[in-house]
């Protein structure tokens, strides 16, 4: 059996090789629960910060402003919770396989992924970010245009911890690691790509509708393409890390 879509061609044997730690009969509903957990935790943490500021006597507008100013700390809290969630998944027996196939070398995978991620990061800084702001102003959004990066730039060290040190490992473990193999075995290639990219985009709901689509179906598409083409998590991790480093440097230089 082959799973096909354009230039992707995965045989059942290749999926088995990449999925040696999967249970024999994975329950698909657990996969969807896992994909919902990250964005739900993000919502709960943000709501918790807002409730706290409200309990301190802040008015509605002050709550919004203080919560936005605390964006980097919210990201740290979310990523730490998700790191614990990844550990829980591994502890429960559903190991996330970070090993490389025998035909791959770690240095090559890191270089390939980092090159792709840095390239996308530069494209984002000089092309996609301005285009995103233009779309938000032209078509509207539920967040103010261009408000995401200035908000996280108010606390650079927490943003570095969340975005550079934690997010690449945590998010690749969940989306391109734990979920992708299980969805491939049940649904095939195209539905898997759409589900993983869509759920990854939803994790970034605080950036607005257009940011969700940009992250999910541009960055997310790059990451899952590397996962499928390179048959490992090291390459998409390196791409994610490279992209986030460029994003952090952009925020730091503008601060």
* 189-246 pLDDT, tens digit each: 999 999 999 999 999 999 999 999 999 999 999 999 999 999 999 999 999 999 999 9
| Burial annotation 139-148 (CB, 10 A radius, 16+ → b, else e) | eebebebebb
Task: Report d(CA 154, CA 186) in Å as an integer.
Answer: 43
Nearest to 111 by CA among 222, 227, 234: 234
- Is the residue at 25 inside a domain? yes
126 within a domain of the structure (yes/no): yes
Examine residue 187 and state whether it is found in any structural domain, yes or no: yes
The domain tally of the chain equals 1
Q: Does 155 map to a domain?
A: yes
2 occurs within a structural domain: no
Q: Does residue 1 fall inside a structural domain?
A: no
State pLDDT tens for residues 129-142.
Answer: 999 999 999 999 99
Contact between 195 and 113 (Cβ < 8 Å):
no
Distance CA 252, CA 255 (A): 5
Distance of CA 197 to the CA centre of its chain: 9
> With 80 as the cut, is the pLDDT of residue 250 above it?
yes
Flag whether 3 is in a domain. no
Domain that holds residue 87: 8-254
Average pLDDT over residues 103-108: 92
Distance spanning both ends of the chain, measured CA to CA: 52
List beta partners, residue 4. Answer: 9
Residue 231 domain flag: yes
Please say if the pLDDT value at position 64 is more than 80: yes
- 249 and 235 in contact (C-beta within 8 Å)? no
């Amino acid at each position: 059996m082959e799973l096909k879509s354009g230039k992707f061609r995965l045989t059942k044997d290749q999926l088995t090789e990449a999925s040696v730690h999967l249970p024999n009969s994975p329950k698909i509903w657990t996969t969807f629960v896992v994909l919902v957990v990250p964005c739900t935790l993000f919502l709960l943490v943000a709501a918790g910060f807002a409730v706290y500021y409200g309990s301190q006597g802040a008015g509605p507008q002050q709550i919004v402003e203080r919560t936005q100013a605390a964006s980097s700390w919210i990201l740290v809290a979310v990523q730490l919770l998700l790191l614990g969630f990844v550990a829980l998944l591994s502890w429960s027996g559903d190991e996330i396989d970070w090993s490389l196939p025998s035909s791959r070398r770690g240095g090559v995978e890191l270089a390939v992924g980092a090159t792709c991620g840095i390239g996308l990061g530069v494209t984002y800084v000089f092309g996609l970010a301005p285009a995103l702001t233009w779309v938000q102003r032209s078509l509207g959004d539920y967040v103010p245009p261009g408000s995401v990066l200035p908000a996280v730039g108010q606390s650079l060290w927490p943003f570095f911890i969340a975005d550079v040190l934690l997010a690449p490992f945590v998010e690749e473990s969940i989306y391109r690691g734990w979920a992708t193999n299980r969805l491939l075995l049940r649904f095939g290639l195209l539905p898997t790509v759409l589900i993983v990219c869509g759920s990854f985009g939803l994790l970034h709901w605080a950036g607005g509708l257009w940011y969700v689509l940009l992250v999910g179906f541009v960055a997310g598409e790059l990451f899952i393409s590397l996962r499928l083409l390179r048959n490992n998590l090291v390459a998409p991790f390196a791409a994610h890390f490279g992209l986030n480093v460029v994003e952090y440097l952009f925020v730091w230089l503008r601060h």
